[in-house]
A and B are shown apart, each in its own frame.
Chain A
């Protein structure tokens, strides 16, 4: 499995592995049903602690990208990319919301006020956007 670890970009190693496996699956380089290397093999290949691989595989399993078969190994899951994508998309946005709420709290804004500001910003954006109808539909979805 072709994975590269970069120590200088500040992304935790387990997350780099998660992201690259997801990319390999999404791009078809890893196919449904295909077996992933055992933890020890991938740890030796990448020269990382085995627990990092355990953490990465665990996260990939929770998000439905891979699954373990008792006693036989770890495999790329069949299909259901839509559901996986939705959960993943939600997770990304929720992380941003958590950050926004934390920052708003520090600056003495209530969640209600933040919600109102989000709507106001959206309205201002819509007005200033002279975009074609289908792009706007995409934005407001």
Chain B
């Protein structure tokens, strides 16, 4: 079997009596991009912090390149690049000082790449971190995260609150890490169109649990969105086999469903409904359906 870059098994984590992660398993292999989606507070950041060894599992295990990041932080962290959502950086440093400081931890630091990015972003190396705008902080943090060409790049909500130009810079860095160096990228985002474009695999977390995980094209292919016309006027959404979410009213309803379409067709037919149009659901439609109706478990094939 291919060597895992990340292997999380049955990870649970509680803060006091609050369960933040509940038996989460997650695997990542080299050269792939993993998108992590979920509502605020679903557990995405908590999962990412476990990968970095910043949190210790209550139960279960976390392995990065086969190493335990809590017990061997030097071995694991040296091979990871990380950009946090808040872009936490040492406020008192100048950009060039921060670059030298980060370089000291990373023998693989690529000074030419760092210089190229500084120029592309039009950052002044003598600027103090505390004087930077939010976008410039993100760009500075990004250089510090990628210039040692890490084997694993972890980005927590990298686009959050940023303008289109800086979002573009971040996507470019993801593309370069994968295309130039065959690196692995894990990023969380609430921008589902960004996840849909940039991910090879998607994992959905809801209330601390993985509700859906797989290759993006497989996930998309296993959920359909159908328009159904009913003979009768329906005041409430009918209960239909394999249906996860329903929208509409009267005789016309739009349904997100998974599983064999024949089963759905029969179930709709029994209520006097006919499918008039069907296509694969978008990630956003799947996400809304899964987040809204999490008690109904219909697994991805």
Chain A positions near chain B (C-beta within 8 angstroms) = 5, 7-14, 39-40, 43-44, 46-52, 103, 106-107
Contacts and interface: CB of A to CB of B under 8 A. Distances in A.
A49 B193 contact: no
Please tell me the size bucket of the interface on B. 20 to 34
B274 interface: no
A48 B262 contact: no
Contacts of B282: 7-8, 10
A1 B282 CA distance: 25
Interface stretch (B43-51, B86-94, B103-111, B197-205): B197-205
B179 interface: yes
Given A5-B197, A7-B197, A12-B220, A51 B175 contact: no
Interface of B: 31-33, 168, 171-172, 174-176, 178-180, 193, 196-200, 217, 220-221, 225, 260, 262, 279-282
Given A10-B220, A44-B172, 6 more contacts: A7-B196, A10-B280, A11-B280, A13-B196, A51-B31, A51-B178
A40 B176 CA distance: 7
A109 to B, nearest CB: 13
Given A7-B196, A10-B279, A51 B32 contact: yes
A9 B220 CA distance: 11
Q: Which of A7, A46, A50 has the most CB of B within 10 A?
A: A50
B167 to A, nearest CB: 9
Contacts of B179: 39-40, 43, 50
A40 B180 contact: yes
A86 to B, nearest CB: 26
B183 to A, nearest CB: 11
Q: Which of B193, B197, B260 has the most CB of A within 10 A?
A: B197
B260 to A, nearest CB: 7
B200 A49 contact: yes
Nearest 9 pairs of A and B residues by beta carbon: A10-B279, A10-B280, A40-B179, A50-B179, A49-B33, A43-B175, A12-B217, A48-B197, A50-B178
Nearest to B197: A48
Contact of A49 (B199, B260, B281): B199
Contacts of B281: 10
Contacts of B262: 103, 106-107
Contacts of A5: 197
A64 to B, nearest CB: 23
28 contacts: A7-B193, A10-B225, A10-B280, A10-B281, A11-B280, A12-B221, A12-B280, A13-B196, A13-B197, A14-B217, A40-B176, A40-B179, A40-B180, A44-B172, A46-B197, A47-B168, A47-B197, A48-B198, A49-B174, A49-B175, A49-B178, A49-B197, A50-B178, A51-B31, A51-B32, A51-B33, A51-B178, A51-B200
Contacts of B279: 9-10
Contacts of B172: 44
A11 B281 CA distance: 9
B35 to A, nearest CB: 9
Nearest to B279: A10
A11 B216 CA distance: 12
A115 B33 CA distance: 44
Contact of B198 (A9, A12, A47): A47
